[in-house]
Chain A
Amino acid sequence: MVKVLEYVFEELNSVPNFPETAFRALRMLEDENINFNDLAKVIRYDATITANFLKLVNSAYIGLRRKVESLTQAFALLGLNQIRFFLIAACAGQYLNRPLRGYDLSPYEVWLHSLGCGVFAELISEKIKAEHQDHIFTAALLHDIGKIVLDLFVGGELEVIRELVEEEGLSFMEAEIMVLGTDHAVVGAELLRRWGFPQEIIFAVRAHHDEDWMVQNQTSAVVALANTLVNLLGIGMGADGLSYRIPPALLKTVGLKDKELFDVITVGFQRYQNLKENLLHK
């Protein structure tokens, strides 16, 4: 197991840094009186982020009447939170664009799962008027980033992990720890720590399958709930599927009532489906 952990950390070192352009832009977005021309100058320096950003905005569920062709045009139409959302999503796409064979996911499914989680996190945040909406959807979009590192190792041990889930009643994450000495949430959190993300985002990623930690604060609970709903809907559902436990306090920590859950599922699925269909047809 120690040897496997060494390899996992070697793999961690090989993941490229989160784009500095995005961090600069996110810091600028902390100022409510931001100058959008200055912001556009920073972002357009990175052609991939700019292209992904515009593609996502044009595909989104926000019902733009005409095609947006420039960053400044997009900024004029979007709120600060929406700009943050599309910026993080545009960057996440660069990491979540390859197959995760160990988790039995195509690049398309990996990307849809991340986007779906972001869409649900944004909807829940709006509904409960969450305090740290930007942290919530950043963590939601990046919650499974650890899978890109652990994929190779899970693939080699998938049968053993599944046996532990089916025969010992362990959750998939507990089985990952038993077999590999770590799990995709820990690895994801470590990656975000190295990239310099705020502690609240790192904790939410670390906690997204941990039934005790996910109810420690609202941000973690919303991210865990968004991931739970996306998995329930089978959106980019990996080999781990629903082999997890959901704590009774999750909805209460989020600030939702039981009866509101099904409305969130229905509206969230409509938003996600709209985004997915538009992305596919562009």
Chain B
Amino acid sequence: MIVEKGRYIVLKDPQETLESESLGSCIGLAGVDEETQVIGLWVFVLPAAKILSRPCNGVPPAFFAAEGLDEFLSSLEEAGARRDQLKLVAAGGARFLEAPTVFDLGGLNASMLRKLLKDRGLNLSGEKLGRPFPAKIWVEPSGKVLVKITGVEEESW
């Protein structure tokens, strides 16, 4: 199942793999509780809604890191996951070789995610963030999380 940008999908006793499209500077965050067999994948685009100069209708909270993280975590918990045994893996957050700060969305997204997780006492078990090349992340029904960056051997957690 493809998880579109600005959305998340959570599955209990999964039969299907959850996968992102090419992430660019967006970040895909996988959440897995192997014990309770819950998997989830969330792809956010911007660090926070307050970055916009005016509210934009029809944009889901999951489009933003700050507004979407708690919704994603709650959804994992509602499906039966326990927060203290979650495996969290992040990928994407691509950055240009050189660009004015306003274009460094990958850097902004990664910083925001790390801060939000730290505030909630959570850590990433693995991350592949900030490379300039395309990345994809997917979560298998077994709970295995894989990240593939073009031209680099895939890694798993």
Contact = CB atoms under 8 A, between A and B. Distances in A.
Contacts of A265: 45-46, 105
- What is the interface residue range for chain B against chain A? 35 or more
Given A232-B103, A234-B26, A263-B53, A162 B151 contact: yes
Contact of A243 (B4, B26, B46, B97): B97
Interface stretch (B16-24, B31-39, B73-81, B113-121): B16-24
A163 B76 CA distance: 40
Interface string B124-143: 00000001111000000000
A171 interface: yes
A238 B96 CA distance: 14
Interface in A220-249: 228, 231-239, 241-246, 248
A101 B92 CA distance: 21
Nearest to B20: A234
Contacts of B99: 245-246
A269 B94 CA distance: 17
B5 interface: yes
Contacts of A165: 97, 132
A165 B96 CA distance: 12
B63 A171 contact: no
Given A234-B25, A239-B134, A269-B5, A171 B97 contact: yes
Contacts of B54: 263
Interface string B21-59: 111111000000000000000000110000111101011
Given A109-B22, A269-B6, A270-B59, A104 B102 contact: no
A266 B125 CA distance: 30
Interface of B: 4-6, 21-26, 45-46, 51-54, 56, 58-59, 63, 92, 94-100, 102-103, 105-106, 131-134, 150-151
Interface of A: 104, 109, 158-159, 162, 165, 169, 171, 228, 231-239, 241-246, 248, 250-251, 258-263, 265-267, 269-270, 273
